[in-house]
Structure 1
Amino acid sequence: MKGDASITAASVNERSRVVLHFSLKLESGAVVDSNFDASPVEFVVGDGNMFEAFERSMFGLTAGEKKSSVIPAELAFGLPNPENIHRFRRHEIEPMVADQPDSLAAGLMLTFADAG
């Protein structure tokens, strides 16, 4: 995982309150997620909302500082697992995006509560 972040905290350490904008990229450089065009995310280091390797990559940064980090998959979201790839027919997906019908397009990522 590659990411860019702008930090607004005194000096990031355990229990720091961090407010930041970020972009999450694959090794290819493709942006997977970003909030640079939206409100920043806010969390407390160690509160369990972010994975530890991401939090530790920011330790020591000060307000306004920018950093790019590369975090190995196994320390971030995990290695790819072919068993987690599922194929659905369009009519099975449509009810899941009924409130956003224009979002149904190739590459749409859906989140499920349970694996399998």
Structure 2
Amino acid sequence: MSEVKGNVIKADSEVLMHFSICLADGSAVDSSKVNNKPSKFVMGDGSLTPGFEKCLLGLKEGESQTFTLAPESAFGLSNPDNIHHIELSKFNADLPAEVGTIISFTQPDGSEIPGIIREVVAESVTVDFNHPLAGQTLTFAVDLLTVLN
């Protein structure tokens, strides 16, 4: 077995990697390999969850690794406080209330937040503002292409 040579991922490394995310049933959620566009980020910049970054620390350039994260280490648990009921009258042909649709909502401070329509009952639309992968145990597969320290 040959030893992997290359830079090791540290707390502030710049990393270029391919990744795939799968649900517990094995179905793929996302992969940078689909369009052959590796993901580039800097450790600690907030683009990855702390649990995911912790798994990457110490890995070497050229290495491939697979790891499974519980919801708490991935995208968190589903928070019932992030589920809201909105009047059906707030929706229209340009913004339809269809179950499964992800819609960007403007918050009072002007920022946008995505919400998934979970249910439409009579005049009430249930919108879930949790991350779409919240509450899921996820398997991540990474191929580290470049690590700059």
TM-score bucket of the superposed structures, by smaller chain: 0.5 to 0.7
For 2:104 and 2:18, the matched residues in 1 are separated by 22
Instruction: For 1:82-97, list aligned pairs within 5 A.
Output: 95=94
- Structure 1 length normalisation: TM-score? 0.65
Question: Which one-letter code corresponds to 2:46 in the other structure?
Answer: G
**Once the 2 structures are TM-superposed, how far is the Cα of residue 61 of structure 1 from its aligned partner?**
1.0
Please state which structure has a larger fraction of its residues in strand: 2
**Once the 2 structures are TM-superposed, how far is the Cα of residue 82 of structure 1 from its aligned partner?**
6.3
**Are 2:77 and 1:79 equivalent residues in the alignment?**
yes
- Structure 2 length normalisation: TM-score? 0.52
Cα separation, partners in 2 of 1:36 and 1:93, compared to 1, 3 Å: farther
For 1:95 and 1:18, the matched residues in 2 are separated by 40
For 1:107 and 1:69, the matched residues in 2 are separated by 28
For 2:40 and 2:102, the matched residues in 1 are separated by 23
When Rg is computed on C-alpha atoms for both structures, the one with the higher figure is 2
Question: Which one-letter code corresponds to 2:45 in the other structure?
Answer: D
**Once the 2 structures are TM-superposed, how far is the Cα of residue 80 of structure 1 from its aligned partner?**
3.3
Which residue does 1:23 correspond to in 2?
Answer: 20
| Secondary structure of 1:69 counterpart | strand
**Once the 2 structures are TM-superposed, how far is the Cα of residue 60 of structure 1 from its aligned partner?**
1.2
**Number of matched residues?**
99
The one-character-per-residue Cα deviations of 1:12-69 (angstroms, maximum 9, x if unpaired) are: 1110001111111111111111111221010010111111111110111111100001
Please state which structure has a larger fraction of its residues in helix: 1
For 1:69 and 1:48, the matched residues in 2 are separated by 20
Which residue does 1:12 correspond to in 2?
Answer: 9
Using CA pairs below 8 Å that are at least 6 residues apart, which structure has the higher relative contact order?
2
Which residue does 1:33 correspond to in 2?
Answer: 30
**Once the 2 structures are TM-superposed, how far is the Cα of residue 76 of structure 1 from its aligned partner?**
1.4
| Structural RMSD (CA) | 3.2
Question: Which one-letter code corresponds to 1:78 in the other structure?
Answer: G
Question: Which one-letter code corresponds to 1:12 in the other structure?
Answer: I
**Once the 2 structures are TM-superposed, how far is the Cα of residue 95 of structure 1 from its aligned partner?**
3.8
Which residue does 1:42 correspond to in 2?
Answer: 40
For 1:71 and 1:111, the matched residues in 2 are separated by 27
Which residue does 1:5 correspond to in 2?
Answer: none
